């Protein structure tokens, strides 16, 4: 769970070409921006980039780690995919609880969440909302 109140566990990954290929296979998204170096090199990104949904999966993994089944049952996520991740990039999720209040025995937990690369460039930013049974979840002892 969390190491300190309100801060969500960090998920850290290094993006690889083989992971992008695996993701393309698993998801069925074979956009050449993710798979074809000659096509991608002519794009505004200048090379192959990871799927946005692949990098967003790390944010979801963070929320699953923090909130368990509550995230899977009631989670709401709203993000902008602001910049792509490239093969070789190290990326880290971040998340913090910004609001947490009880609603008739259920906590509504609002978090700011996102993903940055090793240079601090923001790749994903947005908000998540989870409904948690009152005494469960991060940020409560």
Length of the chain measured in residues? 141
Check if the beta carbon of residue 60 is closer than 8 Å to that of residue 79. no
Of 94, 139, 132, nearest to 112 by C-alpha is 94
Strands (E) across the chain are located at: 12-14, 76-81, 90-103, 106-117, 122-133
Per rule CB under 8 A, is residue 98 in the interface with other proteins?
Answer: no
In this complex, which beta carbon is closest to other proteins, that of residue 58 or of residue 94? 58
Indicate the SS3 state at residue 109. strand
Stretch that binds other proteins, among 38-46, 93-101, 110-118, 132-140 (CB under 8 A): 38-46
Q: Which of 5, 37, 39, 46 binds other proteins (CB under 8 A)?
A: 39
Per rule CB under 8 A, is residue 133 in the interface with other proteins?
Answer: no
Q: Which of 48, 66, 75, 123 binds other proteins (CB under 8 A)?
A: 75
Q: Which of 25, 90, 102, 136 binds other proteins (CB under 8 A)?
A: 25
Per rule CB under 8 A, is residue 90 in the interface with other proteins?
Answer: no
Q: State in Å, rounded, how far the first CA of the chain is from the last one.
A: 11
73-112 as b/e, with b when 16 or more CB fall inside 10 Å? eebebebebebbbbbebebbbbbbbeebeeeeeebebebe
Per rule CB under 8 A, is residue 139 in the interface with other proteins?
Answer: no
What residue ranges bind other proteins (CB under 8 A)? 13, 19, 22-23, 25-29, 31-33, 39, 42-43, 51-54, 56-58, 60-61, 64-65, 68-69, 71-81
């Amino acid at each position: 769970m969390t190491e300190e109140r309100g801060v969500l566990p960090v998920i850290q990954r290094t993006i690889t070409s083989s992971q992008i290929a695996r993701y393309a296979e698993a998801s069925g998204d074979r956009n050449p921006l993710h798979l074809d170096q000659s096509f991608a090199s002519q794009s505004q990104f200048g090379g192959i980039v990871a799927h946005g949904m692949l990098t967003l999966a790390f944010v979801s993994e963070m929320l699953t780690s923090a909130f368990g089944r509550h995230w899977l049952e009631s989670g709401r996520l709203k993000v902008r995919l602001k910049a792509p991740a490239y093969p070789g990039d190290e990326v880290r999720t971040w998340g913090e609880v910004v609001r947490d209040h009880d609603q008739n025995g259920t906590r509504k937990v609002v978090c700011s969440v996102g993903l940055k690369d090793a240079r601090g460039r923001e790749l994903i930013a947005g908000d998540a909302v989870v409904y948690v049974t009152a005494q469960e979840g991060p940020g409560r002892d």
